[in-house]
Structure 1
């Protein structure tokens, strides 16, 4: 069996998060798909900021990493409001905003950063990342870099 590349695994996570948001917008009365998508996006941001971005930054991709960090902060603020369980109309508006944010953000990651992963992520860290992809959880209280006070 072929091992999925890190880029493919991360892109799959993008698709799963998008699907949860789309499921909620199709049926706003059912909040569980949105709650799963919010948790998954926070986890995804964690793994990028803690596992990937340091290696990408060190490899000279400073400008794209800084853009991704800024966008993570913007998305984190949207996720915080969604976690407050706004009414259905407000939640739909926030989901539409988040979907647009993700569309632009994910495209840049998938075209600029992810193709570099095999080159810049050292194997021990790659194995740690694969383990996290399989079963890791965001540490309690962790906040993305650009949302920290």
Structure 2
């Protein structure tokens, strides 16, 4: 998950923002949701460490719902928009994303 988020945040989002001149649009929302996901995963790890099964299950359900909504936004809005504005750089972007550690 961390790798996927890093690929988007270090390669795809900046390329999209540079091309569109807009950093407060869909990529801003995606970044905020990424932070929410990271927080939930951190809280889940804390629940595991504390042996709090109920907290873990509640947090995992919240994460699942957030990820479903997030993925719909990416697949129906951000990715099609990215395809439109970045199609000429597709191969370079894919290589750059694959290079993210």
TM bracket (short chain): 0.7 to 0.9
Q: Stretches of 4+ moved more than 3 A in 1?
A: 116-119
Q: Which has the higher contact order (CA 8 A, sep 6+)?
A: 2
Which residue of the partner structure matches residue 108 of structure 1?
A: 73
- Select the residue among 65, 71, 78 that pairs with 2:33: 71
* Equivalences for residues 1-149 of structure 1 within 5 A: 41-60=1-20, 61-62=22-23, 63-84=25-46, 85=48, 86=50, 87-119=52-84, 120=86, 122=89, 123-129=91-97, 131-132=98-99, 137=101
Q: TM-score, normalised by structure 1?
A: 0.55
Specify every segment of 5 or more residues in structure 2 that has no aligned partner in the other structure, as ranges: none
Structure 1 CA distance for aligned equivalents of residues 93 and 72 of structure 2: 24
Specify every segment of 5 or more residues in structure 1 that has no aligned partner in the other structure, as ranges: 1-40, 138-149
What root-mean-square deviation, in Å, do the aligned CA atoms of Structure 1 and Structure 2 show? 1.9
Which structure shows the higher helix fraction? 2
Which residue of the partner structure matches residue 27 of structure 1?
A: none
Number of equivalent positions: 93
